[in-house]
């Protein structure tokens, strides 16, 4: 059976609801993101992170390369790394 929600925007955050109601704004945002992530700076940044991931040997072990407050990179469980700042990626007070 096909997923009825496939291709739908069902998020509950304020921004998700806004972009679901304003398809033109969503198209503009997606176009901007596509250009931004295609820049050499972003490509080099991703390449650097991927190289660090390989260098630290975290392939297939369920670990991520986590950024510390001091700017270092350390291996950490993916669930801990991604859950730290909450679902929205922002710290909650």
Residue 68 and residue 85 in one domain: yes
Average pLDDT over residues 66-77: 87
As for how many domains the chain has, the answer is 2
What is the domain extent for residue 27? 10-55
Q: How far out from the chain centre does Cα 22 lie?
A: 22
Same domain, 19 and 41: yes
**Length of the chain, please?**
93
Helix axes 14-21, 23-37, angle to 10 degrees: 110
- At 91 the three-state DSSP class reads coil
Co-location of 44 and 73 in the same domain: no
Does residue 17 share a domain with residue 40?
yes
Are 73 and 56 within 8 A, CB to CB?
yes
CA distances from 44 to 17, 48, 55, 63 (A): 33, 6, 16, 22
Is 1 within the bounds of a domain? no
Tell whether 4 is covered by a domain: no
What would the pLDDT profile of 44-66 be if each residue is shown by its tens digit? 988 988 898 888 886 778 888 88
Reported as a pLDDT band with limits 50, 70 and 90, residue 92 is low
């Amino acid at each position: 059976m096909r997923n009825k929600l496939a291709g739908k925007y069902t998020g509950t955050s304020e921004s998700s609801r806004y972009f679901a109601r304003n398809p033109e704004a969503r198209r503009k945002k997606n176009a901007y993101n596509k250009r931004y992530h295609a820049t050499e700076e972003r490509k080099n940044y991703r390449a650097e992170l991927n190289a660090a991931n390989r260098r630290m040997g975290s392939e297939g072990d369920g670990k991520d390369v986590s950024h510390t407050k001091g700017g270092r990179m350390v291996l950490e469980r993916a669930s801990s790394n991604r859950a730290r700042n909450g679902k929205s990626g922002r710290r909650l007070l």
